[in-house]
Amino acid sequence: MADEVIKKVDNLYYLQIGMQGENMSREVKIDVSDWMEKYPNASIYILFKRYNDQYAYPVATTYEDGILTWTPSTADTQVPGIGYAEVRLMYSTDDVVLKSRVLPTVVENSVTGNEGGEVPSPFEEWTNQVLAAAELVTDSLEDAIDAADRAEEAAASITGDYAIPVTIDFGTVTSLPVTVEQANISSTMTVDYFEMSNPSAFNGNLTVTTADGSVTVEGEISGSSTLKIKISTTV
């Protein structure tokens, strides 16, 4: 089984998750020990959005000794291209929600393509994971019910309807910041996801600012990469 180099969650900038159609053959390991040391017994998971998908969903992960492991399934690798992932921690004692930077994910094309599986229901998958974790740490029915309640809240936070009216094409980017004028952009719009040909060229977290009639990307880049972003409004 192919393993990713283990990096601390705050030092990650993108994830290589496999070839199109691969199933359970690669382990993506993320060091979350600093987070878990600060918030012991917190729930931690990964939200993943495939290339061109409308919704994110929580992928199946395991946690042991400070390492969060994602073993991508055929559902995760079904669509080649640049998607994105985000690591989230939920600590109910203090109502803490901690998020990683948005991590571009890479699924490469394969000759045979992929017949792929269905994306799991976010609520069902996340509920099962949280309840399974609760069983490992306690026999308390009250704690299990609390875990289920938090699972429902988490599922609600990742579902919804989105309108995606425009794709911003920056072309080949060699330096940042860069601004594109676009008449149908407003300051209330948000970034849906990035598409980039060379994710490793971006050395830091990209910041996108929308204004009436323009969008600006800031950050650090070494080398060059094509860059597109999808802009959306929540409805």
Asked whether 45 and 58 are in contact (CB, 8 A), the reply is yes
Q: What is the pLDDT of residue 143?
A: 52
- Report pLDDT for 146: 57
Q: What is the CATH number of domain 2-157?
A: 2.60.40
pLDDT value of position 184: 65
Low-confidence ranges of the chain (pLDDT < 50): 2, 122-123, 131, 133-141, 144, 154-165, 234-235
Q: CA 122, CA 105: separation in Å to the nearest integer?
A: 19
What is the structure's pLDDT at 139? 46
Alpha-carbon gap, residue 119 to 213, rounded angstroms:
36
Q: The tokens 């929308």 sit on which residue?
A: 210
Strands (E), the chain: 2-3, 7-8, 15-19, 26-31, 43-49, 57-58, 61-64, 67-70, 81-91, 96-99, 103-108, 162-173, 178-181, 190-196, 207-211, 214-218, 225-234
The C-alpha R_g of the chain, in whole angstroms, comes to 18
What pLDDT shows up at residue 33?
Answer: 95
Is the preceding peptide bond at 165 cis, omega within 30 degrees of 0? no
Tell me, what's the pLDDT at 233? 58
Give the HSE-up count for residue 195: Cα atoms under 13 Å, Cβ half-sphere. 15
User: According to the model, what pLDDT value does residue 69 have?
Assistant: 93
Main-chain phi, psi angles of 180, to 5 degrees: -120, 130
User: Quick one: pLDDT at residue 122?
Assistant: 47
Q: Where are the domains of the chain?
A: 2-157, 162-234
